[in-house]
Every structure is written in C-alpha cells, then in structure tokens.
A and B are shown apart, each in its own frame.
Chain A
Amino acid sequence: MHKQTTFDAIVVGSGISGGWAAKELTEHGLKTLVLEAGGPVDPNVDYVEHVQPWAMHFRGFGDRKALERDYPVQRGCYACDEVGHKFFVNDNENPYTNPADAPFKWFRGRQLGGRSITWGRQVYRWSDLDFEANAKDGNGNDWPIRYKDIAPWYSHVERFIGITGAREGLSQLPDGEFLPAMQMTAVEKVAREKILKAFGGERVMTIGRAAILTQNHNGRLACHYCGPCERGCITHSYFTSLGSTLPAAKKTGNLTVRPNSVVAEVLYDAKLGRASGVRVIDANTMESREYTARIVFLCASTIESVRLLLNSKSARFPDGLANGSGTLGKYVMDHHYGSGASGTVPGFTDKRTIGRRPNGIYIARFRNVKAAHPDFLRGYGMQGGSGRNGWGRGGSMPGYGAAFKDSLINDLGPWSLSASGWGETLPNEKNAVTLDPTVTDKWGIPAARIEVRWRDNERAMDRDMMTAMAEMLEAVGCTNVRTHRSNNPPGHCIHEMGGARMSKTQTEGVLNRWNQAWDVKNLFITDGACMASCACQNPSITYMALTARAVSNAVELMKRREL
C-alpha cells in the first residue's frame, strides 16, 4: 500500500513542532513523511469536550482504579481524567526511570496531533531579556540568536494559528499579532488597576495570551466557550496540529503521514557523514522498516528526541548521534510552578460571568527586569484568574434544607482571585537525560533515565512567588489572603526543555543557530530539546517559530545544494 520509502524530508512527531515542520516543508514543495508513534485521531469520534458530567460513569471523578493501573504517572496531569486519558500514554507500555531522590513527572501523548491536543494553549513571546540571560549571568551557554532573529517568525506562526491577547508594550513580554482579547472579569479589571497603582506600574496584569480564536480565522471557527479544551475541540478553535498545520500540509499533496510508527533510531551514513533516514518499529505488528530522506527533522518532544539520539549509536557517534560536544542529554529544564496566593474579593456580588473562558490572567515578569533581586536570578510570570464558586462551595458549606439548596442554585458565592508563578529554571549540566541500562519500552527501546532537580535559585524564587502574590492581593483589597507552596516535581509543568541545546560553537552544544546539528548537517531538532535556557514563558510558540525558521533555512541550503 505504502511502497514509497524515500522522501525529501522525514519529520519525527506530529505534535506542535512536527505539525509546523510538516506544513513548512510541504509548502516549500518537499515530499515529506510524518512519523507518529501513536495512533490516528478522528476529531468527530475522539474529541470529548461536550460530554457532560452526568454522561460520565464517575461524573468526572475518573475511573480511579483503571487510571492507577494504566496511567499511574499520567494521572498526575489535570487533563488525564475520566474522558481525557485517551490522549495520554499507557505508563506500562512507556516506562521511564529516575533516581529515587529525584522525582520527575513525564506527561506524554502519543497520537496524531501529539500533545497539541491537550496543551495549555498559553503563548508568550520571549524577549532579549531571555535570550541574553545565559550570557549575562553565566549559567548555561549564550544563545546563538536574539529576539530580532525570531521576531518575524513569531509573527509568521501567530498569523497562521491565531492568538488572542491584549497589547501592553512591555519590553520583557513583546506583543504579538493578536486577535481581539478575551474579556477580563469585573474583578480582574479592578485588580489590574489597583496592582498597577500599588507597584508603580511595574506589575502588569493582562488577559492571558492564548492560541484560541476569538473570531473566525483561516477557516477555523471562533471559540464557543464550552470550557474543557484539553479534551479536544470539534470546531478546532484552539490550535492543534491536527486541526491546523497538518491539514495545511495535506493540502499541498506533498504529505505522507504514518501513525503507529515508533522511531527507534536515526540512521547514520558514516561515508557521507549524514543522517540517511530512520528505523521504525510498527507499533502494532512490531515489524521493523526503514525510511530514507535528504533531511530529517526531530520533533518528537524534548525527552523523546534526546532519547532517540542517545539510542542512535555508531562508530562515529558511540555516545549518541550528533553528540560530538558531549552535551547531548544535558541541561534539561522545566518550569518550577504553582506557588502563589489566593484571596477573597469583597463586593462585586451583582456581577457574574457567562460562558467558560478557557484562559486566565497573566502577570508579566517583574523580577530582575530593572532592579536586581537579592535572592535569585531571572524571574517568573504569574497565571491565575477569578471567579465565583457557585454550587461548588456546597460540599464544605454548613447548612441544609430549602434555603441551603436555594443558595447553591441562586447565589454564586463570593469572588475569589488567585495566581501562581511559572518560574525560570537555571540551565544545569547535572540535570540530564540518559538511557536506562536495563529498562526498555514495549518496543524494546531503552527507556529514558531522567535526573532533574530543583536547586536553590528555583526554591528562592518559589518563596518570592508566594510573598509577591500575597502583596498584590492585599493591594487589591482581598480578605482571607492565603499563600500556597507548590511541591510539584520537575516535569510536572510539561515544559521540559533542553538536552540538545543550540550554541554559538560546535563544542558547546548540539545545534547551531538554525537548529541544525553541528555534527550531522542534514539533521534538525526543533522541539523543546533545542532550548539553551527556559525563560519563564510557556514555550510552545517559541518551538513553532524556531521550527518555521529552521525549515526556511534548510530549504535555502537545499536550493544552494549545500544539503
């Protein structure tokens, strides 16, 4: 049926980065093969965002026993629930290991569309504050690019996928190509003004910037505010590769997609010094087959791409393909997140919200933007929101009878406002991914062994998130202000980055400024593995921009016959 085994380009992974690689490569006329380890997804059947709680056996509590059996790790993610677990891997088939004293959560989705189906949809541009950070404080290596190199590519991807947001003119959080902003709540509007005033304009609370359509865009419909995006979206109103980039790629006639294709190895031709293709194991039949291409893009997700390279050994690269620098697998990061504060907002009881906004508020980074903070380097952004609990408060509210019931039905309860920090983690050589010497997955591929730890800088920043948010809530006039301290282990934020970092020189990283492997010129890595630092912004939009930029350069090199 599919006899063709040679292509112009192979893309490993069909998620956020892989979809972009596929779109750009095919639109440049390259015959492109996209390999996806998981199965196909049919939005008409598989998306479950409109299933109401009463239609679920456990009313949304989840099938605890089944989840504990098959998804003991994945169930730690909020989206891996009673109906959403289908978009997560079975942990028994997909093991990984970590030292006992270094817990790590690796939340994974193997299906066409990857984690673009379940992602958080928040999109924030990086700035030069981020690209210059490693060079300035000496942690990690200097990025080989600056904001000006990526800015046009941010615009390129934003225009295509459609993102909502409000322009703020902040140097540390550049504005993008925004569709109309979603509304703030009555409480958030007032909170924004009070916080601006209390902190001299330094702390800016803006509406979340999200890859969700607030108006029809590029053939996709505006959001209908049903709420649970992480279960899919029948109208493709938030960005997924499945509903956006992959259809665009398909339209060119240059796309071949092969799901259930577990890539075990990137093949290396020692004579030519190039990647010749990949070896694939059929996820169902376990048959092995090879595909060849002129160029290979790894977009399998940070840890999968690193694992794949580590597992691609040859005489030339005994420690993993393209690992001449010895940095492969090192400097892995995730955002440390979740510490912050919440409070009750007096008043506003004549106001409510209509619709379920799949977005919150964002407080742009304010630490180490101008003045240096005494306790830590770098900074954090804060994400949160406000609302009224409605009947949800009833389970812990005293009372009974007709009046109690009426109150739950007709009074929505007080407004609460809360936010938590998403913090930058310093790149550290010791935070690393290797191959486990004994454990393999269902397909016999060595499992990743992940050792990532939070350190003093992250811990100090967590403490500041609590204090700073409590201060802001007090400035808003909240009562009942309570701080919360996160104990999320690394990986929990699902912003894993690094392991095949970009660098200025061949000796200090895996990739050059075009996401091209220094040691293997026709190999590109454009997922989170390429990141040399992690900033504090949600990273996916940066992967998209880097992917489109890398494809553009690769195509130029091919035209010049340099590839």
Chain B
Amino acid sequence: MERRDLLRATGAAAALSFFGAPRDALAIWSRVARGGAILGGLSEQQLALIGAVADTILPRTDTPSATDVGVPAFIDVVVSENDSDEDRAAFVAGLDLIEARAKATAGSAFAQLAPSARASVIESIEAAQDRRAEPARTYWRLKGLIVHGYFTSEPVMKEVLKVEVMPGRFEGSAPMPVRPSTPSGAHGHA
C-alpha cells in the first residue's frame, strides 16, 4: 500500500473514532493500512470467480466497477467471518456449481470468459424460475452481496450516490433530479 493511502486510511480511522466507530471497523482499517490481508476463507480462484461475476453485473463505466471498490474482499469477510460453517460450505459448493455451469456451457472458467460468454452464463442462471435450486440459490445470494457491497462501499456512497450523512431536512415529494442525456453511468443523480 502506498504511503499516502496509509495516511488516508489512518486519517479516516481517526475520524471514525471521533464518531465512535466500532473497534471492528478500526481493526479492519488498520489491517488494510498495513497492507495486510483481510481475506480469510475464500481461495484465489473463488475470489477471481466472484470478482468476474461482480464486474459483469456492475462493470466499470464512468463510475467504478465492483472490484474497483473491493467487493470481493467484502464478500470474503462475510463468508469467512460471519457465515455459519453450514452457510459457508453451501456457498462455496454453490460457487463450484456456477463455475461448472460456465465450463459446461462456455468451455472455460468464468473468469477466463469473454464478456459476451459471461453474460450468457449469467442469463442462463437468472432464467431459472426456482431461485432456491442451485446454482441459482448461490448466485442470487452472491448477487445480493455484490450489490450490497458495492453500494455500501465508501467510494460509491461518497462519489456515486453522494449520500449526505446529515441532510438537515426531510422533503416528502421532491422532484427527481434532471437526468443527463448520456445513456448509462451518468453522474448527477441524488
């Protein structure tokens, strides 16, 4: 990690402690600041698969991609540290089934596929009516984690959603902001 990143991270940690951030968050920040791994349970291959699925769902446009904001690391934290053994085993097994689907329908590991092939694998999984049957079950859990991890990340909350921590007002029927004419990934939303 670059020195300026370290300073930024520890500076943020100091700001957090001012607001009474939980020790867990401070610990993770300082681990990140030291350049240490926060990753625990998931293998490199599993993280590569997660990253590839995440960036297919939320690719880089004029806003960051899922991997740009560390979504795989967040998912590793949840699966490795928060899941029960049973949930983690089911998730890891489900990842294998997603990978197997990629190999069966497109001939190689998901992360090695071209964008169009990744898209068709995702479409085939999303097409399943029963979301509780594998690999859809794990896929939808993964998608939920990807979306949550992305939109709760610091860069996205600050730069993309521009979340105001203290809005100072409540308006119940405000107009929607005027959308720029660019077709996707536009700036200037609420």
Q: Is the CB of B189 within 8 A of A410?
A: yes
Q: Is the CB of B82 within 8 A of A61?
A: yes
Question: Bound complex: CA of A400 vs CA of B61, how far in Å?
Answer: 13
Question: Bound complex: CA of A352 vs CA of B27, how far in Å?
Answer: 37
Q: Is the CB of B185 within 8 A of A224?
A: no
Of A58, A60, A350, the residue contacting B175 (CB under 8 A) is A350
Residue of B nearest to A348 (CB): B173
The answer to whether residues A353 and B172 also contact, given A58-B82, A83-B22 and a CB cut-off of 8 A, is yes
Question: Bound complex: CA of A189 vs CA of B173, how far in Å?
Answer: 9
Known interface pairs A54-B154, A55-B21, A405-B57; 17 further A-B residue pairs with C-beta atoms within 8 A, sorted by A's residue number: A48-B20, A48-B21, A51-B22, A55-B12, A59-B148, A183-B172, A184-B172, A225-B170, A353-B170, A353-B173, A354-B190, A391-B147, A395-B143, A395-B145, A402-B61, A406-B61, A412-B176
Q: Is the CB of A189 within 8 A of B16?
A: no
The answer to whether residues A51 and B25 also contact, given A351-B176, A354-B171, A410-B179 and a CB cut-off of 8 A, is yes
Whether, in the assembled complex, B152 has its beta carbon less than 8 Å from a beta carbon of chain A, the answer is yes
Whether, in the assembled complex, B181 has its beta carbon less than 8 Å from a beta carbon of chain A, the answer is no
Whether, in the assembled complex, B149 has its beta carbon less than 8 Å from a beta carbon of chain A, the answer is yes
Question: Bound complex: CA of A402 vs CA of B165, how far in Å?
Answer: 27
The answer to whether residues A182 and B152 also contact, given A51-B21, A63-B24, A405-B58 and a CB cut-off of 8 A, is no
Q: How far is the CB of A30 from chain B (nearest CB, A)?
A: 34
Residues of B within 8 A of A50 (CB): 19, 165-166
Whether, in the assembled complex, B95 has its beta carbon less than 8 Å from a beta carbon of chain A, the answer is no
Of B82, B144, B165, the residue contacting A396 (CB under 8 A) is B144
Question: Bound complex: CA of A404 vs CA of B172, how far in Å?
Answer: 27
One digit per residue, 1 when the CB lies within 8 angstroms of any chain A CB and 0 when it does not, for chain B 112-148 equals 0000000100100010000000000000100111111
One digit per residue, 1 when the CB lies within 8 angstroms of any chain B CB and 0 when it does not, for chain A 188-200 equals 1100000000000
Whether, in the assembled complex, A370 has its beta carbon less than 8 Å from a beta carbon of chain B, the answer is no
Question: Bound complex: CA of A57 vs CA of B70, how far in Å?
Answer: 13
Whether, in the assembled complex, A8 has its beta carbon less than 8 Å from a beta carbon of chain B, the answer is no
Question: Bound complex: CA of A54 vs CA of B140, how far in Å?
Answer: 22
Residues of A within 8 A of B157 (CB): 52-54
Of B19, B20, B167, B171, the residue contacting A224 (CB under 8 A) is B167
Residues of B within 8 A of A412 (CB): 176
One digit per residue, 1 when the CB lies within 8 angstroms of any chain B CB and 0 when it does not, for chain A 29-60 equals 00000000000000011111011111111111
Whether, in the assembled complex, A140 has its beta carbon less than 8 Å from a beta carbon of chain B, the answer is no
Q: How far is the CB of A81 from chain B (nearest CB, A)?
A: 10
Q: Is the CB of A355 within 8 A of B170?
A: yes
Residues of A within 8 A of B144 (CB): 395-396
Q: Is the CB of B77 within 8 A of A409?
A: no
Whether, in the assembled complex, A437 has its beta carbon less than 8 Å from a beta carbon of chain B, the answer is no
Whether, in the assembled complex, A315 has its beta carbon less than 8 Å from a beta carbon of chain B, the answer is no
Question: Bound complex: CA of A403 vs CA of B146, how far in Å?
Answer: 16
Q: How far is the CB of B105 from chain A (nearest CB, A)?
A: 16
Which residues does B use to contact A, with CB under 8 Å? 12, 16, 19-22, 24-25, 27-29, 56-59, 61, 63, 74, 77-78, 81-84, 119, 122, 126, 140, 143-149, 151-154, 157, 160-161, 163-176, 179, 183-186, 189-190
Question: Bound complex: CA of A162 vs CA of B184, how far in Å?
Answer: 46
The answer to whether residues A186 and B19 also contact, given A54-B157, A55-B25 and a CB cut-off of 8 A, is no
Of B146, B153, B169, B185, the residue contacting A54 (CB under 8 A) is B153
Q: Is the CB of A57 within 8 A of B28?
A: yes
Residues of B within 8 A of A405 (CB): 57-59, 61, 63, 184-185
Q: Is the CB of A52 within 8 A of B154?
A: yes
Residue of B nearest to A46 (CB): B20
Residue of A nearest to B70 (CB): A54
Whether, in the assembled complex, A220 has its beta carbon less than 8 Å from a beta carbon of chain B, the answer is no
Question: Bound complex: CA of A88 vs CA of B57, how far in Å?
Answer: 38
Of A56, A398, A402, the residue contacting B126 (CB under 8 A) is A398
Whether, in the assembled complex, A468 has its beta carbon less than 8 Å from a beta carbon of chain B, the answer is no
Residues of A within 8 A of B28 (CB): 57
Question: Bound complex: CA of A524 vs CA of B147, how far in Å?
Answer: 53
Question: Bound complex: CA of A406 vs CA of B27, how far in Å?
Answer: 33
Residues of B within 8 A of A401 (CB): 56-57, 59, 119
Which parts of A81-98 form the interface with B (CB within 8 Å)? 82-83
Question: Bound complex: CA of A48 vs CA of B171, how far in Å?
Answer: 24
Q: Is the CB of A225 within 8 A of B166?
A: yes
Question: Bound complex: CA of A353 vs CA of B171, how far in Å?
Answer: 5
Whether, in the assembled complex, A148 has its beta carbon less than 8 Å from a beta carbon of chain B, the answer is no
Q: How far is the CB of A439 from chain B (nearest CB, A)?
A: 28
